[in-house]
Structure 1
């Protein structure tokens, strides 16, 4: 669609251009510019700790110099395995300043999962926190090839929290043991482990900044219908475009205060919260994990103006017995994606607080946002309109012909934020794109249609994926793990409706004759010990046989349709 078509829509934000050119500089420059403009302004707030832009820039420069001293060169990949904390922000910008590439990894991953990220990304350095360091070290030590870690930098949460007298009173009681503990450093079989504080106190030489817009900045991993997770090659320009455009779309200013509770390893939190805030020169209030009452307290205490979240967080917060104690008057924007916002919850949010939930849509492959509801005219359970610089269309899944307004097909998107391709996977890259009118469009795998005034709606998925509270679970990946269980003969993973999570994970299992005593809880507990908790099945159904077609392939869609019918 042309710029004129977008600007002709009555709902297009009149103050915004239909497209914009990404800056030629790297992500580091966003921090550098904000630090020059607002050196004494709070960049990061973490309980009672405040880190100014000048302090953030200094810490980033020191860590970048240390990375270079450890052998990190331009284009090298560095793993970041952390819950939300200031160290994560420092690590991301330090890696960018060292001209390297961030590999953001879900901290819930276990050693068996982490091995793939280390070896596939060919990373020799990882940065993590003390509570996760043992798992990262075990993952590296379990790699038999040369693709293992050479260096592991470990921080303790207490490195950045607590007052000068050692008090941790600002930390919620339920997190105090977790966040104040000093974990012993693990050993790394074929490498060295370094203290975070030592790295930041070193006097190493900072390398020249050579990274620019077309160089890789991020390599986040996403799973798919088959095989192991694939790395998505995102350039500085891709990420910078969406960070900048999101800030503009949400009326971001240097006075914006954003609540960072979405996981910052996830593309939405990383780009639309962290990078957007630093670009604008705003303040980032960091929560290490979700807790409804901590969120209420932080919004009230810091005067949070912008909160990007998922609907389940709103549902949980509105159910808090302490809700009346919180002051939400500072909020001017609340929105996000992951799943559709229930009508009743949205109405309560507006009636009680005057806030309209603004939904958006994007993929890891597109540096998050590709469709976004206008903040002044949002529609519920709607993906939104094509974002700044985005050309979005709906095509026939068989002929690839463009569909008319109101007709269902696959949603495809084109724009500067779309990724370059899958890391070391030319075959998968080729399948991910289609050329239309001479332009390269990303196939989202989501079915939907374009309604009136440019709004897009999702109707179904081509890809076999489960969306549980915004976390993507790919059945093929979970099935591959479950087949390792000694008592499972066959398994098929599908989604089940869940009042809170939206969707949840269900495993349909055929037991081996030798394991007739195997229970649902046995399987759930075993899975939780092997993989991230959010991927583990919440429901297990035992059957005598799985439905198969003539070629012996499991007919997962038949099981899915039966489950959907059962929940209606």
Structure 2
């Protein structure tokens, strides 16, 4: 067991934690019983109590079961942050089914993969996304789409600026297999008894590897429970904690920090559908927000607001996040403004958010943090698997209660992702790092071929696979290019087919990509070349292109 970090372990916290032997849904049921009239959600000035939240969850769970959803079935959740997202998530769990959180930026090709891979027959979708998912009812396994208009949960006037998709009125629904959210709830069907336990499957966040299509990380109620409980205790959350929810709920960090953990502790989540720095500041002041988990790009934008000084931010007592290292200059500006250190952490879809977090009393800058409750993390040599010592660079491997049990329908990938050390099963993260004498971990590089654009992970092989659908593309290699704000951005190096040379422009390629894939995956830069570098065996030498790009950009 890695224990070097115990010397800096928070004094008020135990080093191990016994987790509840119940389902994640049970957290909501218990909290609603304890604090029925306490606000669970505040959504652009409309408040919803835990009693109201649970009632809608029960009704939607009953509808899902009426539509044939059975224990262990997978259900797509394709929405932006909203009360309906929280209700959908917990309704799926209440129905003993498995949540498949889908990035709202995903489009037809990606949605088809999720449906085929999971066998999902039901999807709960935001109204603004309906046009991407409803056509698939006719030609995939999908047979039911519940469509939610976010504005239906705005039940009192607000002076806050509303995103277009939040302000939009409910649109009429006539497509076969589609039903309005309100119509589904109005049936008020009582679900059967909840039977899911800690070892049943609960959530499959999708994560790509270095090859192939995205794959589902199988998380049980136990592994999702772990990060929900761990976070609540690490931040000393109570029912009086107020969390600003700006990270997307489909992503494990937002899911854990701003939804599952607050529900466990009975806290209030102040939910934003779209990021807006002025609205965020107004909400912090108006609702005395105490905690905010974000990504670096949000923090940078928030601190760049020239009017920030006019808002009272004194209620904040924790600010932190992950996805990329926080620049020292930005962290210093935040400290001057709020008196708070930016608490960085580290985790993956495979670990349902954090395995490492900086101790709030002794954080280190640009640091992943220390292993949290019951997490055993080591640094190993990528090739020999030999364990490394302090200051030696190697791959992070982690064992803990939040680690995925494996990849859905991919036994070979699952086997390759784990190794055994000291009789325990460790997940290979693919990230290169080292730890110091105090047990703090620091990121160095990535073993896996991945682009990190503002915290969004872009997997080149997936983007390449999608781009090969373009008839003008003969060969393509996706690499990263340095970007002042995003850290990295996506670049496509393309060999055009002979009959497309001179007839296809870089702009044509980018416009096509915007129609076919999530916005964060779309190449910001396209370069046409005569040929791509290859090894004597014909293997694409992507690393040579990658290194040349970064050298050329300085």
Change beyond 3 A, Cα 1:177–1:128: closer
Equivalent residue in structure 1 for 2:149, among 151, 156, 167: 156
Residue matched to 1:543: 529
Q: 1:184 Cα shift?
A: 3.0
Q: Distance in 1 between matches of 2:165 and 2:424?
A: 53
Residue matched to 2:538: 552
Change beyond 3 A, Cα 1:17–1:315: same
**1:301 equivalent in alignment to 2:286:** yes
Residue matched to 1:476: 461
Higher mean C-alpha displacement, 30-39 vs 435-444: 30-39
Residue matched to 1:32: 29
**Partner SS for 1:454:** coil
Residue matched to 1:187: 175
Residue matched to 1:343: 328
Q: 1:151 Cα shift?
A: 1.5
Q: 1:21 Cα shift?
A: 2.4
**Residue ranges of structure 2 left out of the alignment (5+ in a row):** none
Equivalent residue in structure 1 for 2:252, among 251, 262, 267: 267
Change beyond 3 A, Cα 1:41–1:134: same
**1:333 equivalent in alignment to 2:321:** no
Q: 1:328 Cα shift?
A: 1.2
Q: Is the 8 A contact 1:112 1:139 kept in 2?
A: no
Aligned positions of 1:111-126 closer than 5 A? 111-126=108-123
- 1:173-211 CA deviation, whole Å, 9 max, x = no partner? 5x24653232232524xxx22221122122323211110
Q: Is the 8 A contact 1:115 1:142 kept in 2?
A: no
Aligned positions of 1:145-294 closer than 5 A? 148-163=141-156, 167=157, 169-172=158-161, 175-176=163-164, 179-185=167-173, 187-188=175-176, 192-294=177-279
Q: Distance in 2 between matches of 1:150 and 1:487?
A: 34
Q: 1:491 Cα shift?
A: 1.1
Q: Is the 8 A contact 1:6 1:18 kept in 2?
A: no
Q: Is the 8 A contact 1:335 1:359 kept in 2?
A: yes
Q: Distance in 1 between matches of 2:136 and 2:304?
A: 39
Q: Distance in 1 between matches of 2:541 and 2:366?
A: 29
Residue matched to 1:141: 138
Change beyond 3 A, Cα 1:186–1:102: farther
Q: Distance in 2 between matches of 1:267 and 1:481?
A: 24
**Partner SS for 1:355:** coil
Q: Distance in 2 between matches of 1:387 and 1:566?
A: 40
Moved over 6 A (4+): none
Aligned positions of 1:457-536 closer than 5 A? 457-517=442-502, 518-536=504-522
Query: Matched residue pairs, number?
Result: 553
Q: Distance in 2 between matches of 1:134 and 1:521?
A: 25
Residue matched to 1:563: 549
Q: Distance in 1 between matches of 2:528 and 2:169?
A: 42
**Partner SS for 1:304:** coil
CA RMSD of aligned residues (A): 1.4
TM-score, normalised via structure 1 length: 0.95
Residue matched to 1:42: 39
- 1:528-553 CA deviation, whole Å, 9 max, x = no partner? 11001111011112222111100111
Change beyond 3 A, Cα 1:321–1:396: same
Q: Distance in 2 between matches of 1:184 and 1:513?
A: 47
Higher mean C-alpha displacement, 150-159 vs 49-58: 150-159
**Partner SS for 1:452:** coil
Q: Is the 8 A contact 2:150 2:165 kept in 1?
A: no
Q: Is the 8 A contact 1:130 1:185 kept in 2?
A: no
**1:91 equivalent in alignment to 2:88:** yes
Q: Distance in 2 between matches of 1:321 and 1:557?
A: 41
Residue matched to 2:71: 74
- 1:24-63 CA deviation, whole Å, 9 max, x = no partner? 1011111111111111111001012110011111111111
**Partner SS for 1:277:** helix
**Residue ranges of structure 1 left out of the alignment (5+ in a row):** none
Q: Distance in 2 between matches of 1:375 and 1:90?
A: 32
**Partner SS for 1:62:** helix
Q: 1:327 Cα shift?
A: 1.7
**1:311 equivalent in alignment to 2:264:** no
Q: 1:382 Cα shift?
A: 0.9
Q: Distance in 2 between matches of 1:184 and 1:226?
A: 41
Q: Is the 8 A contact 2:344 2:369 kept in 1?
A: yes
Q: Is the 8 A contact 1:131 1:183 kept in 2?
A: no
Q: Is the 8 A contact 1:22 1:416 kept in 2?
A: no
Q: Distance in 2 between matches of 1:326 and 1:451?
A: 39
Q: 1:511 Cα shift?
A: 2.2
Equivalent residue in structure 2 for 1:389, among 363, 374, 382: 374
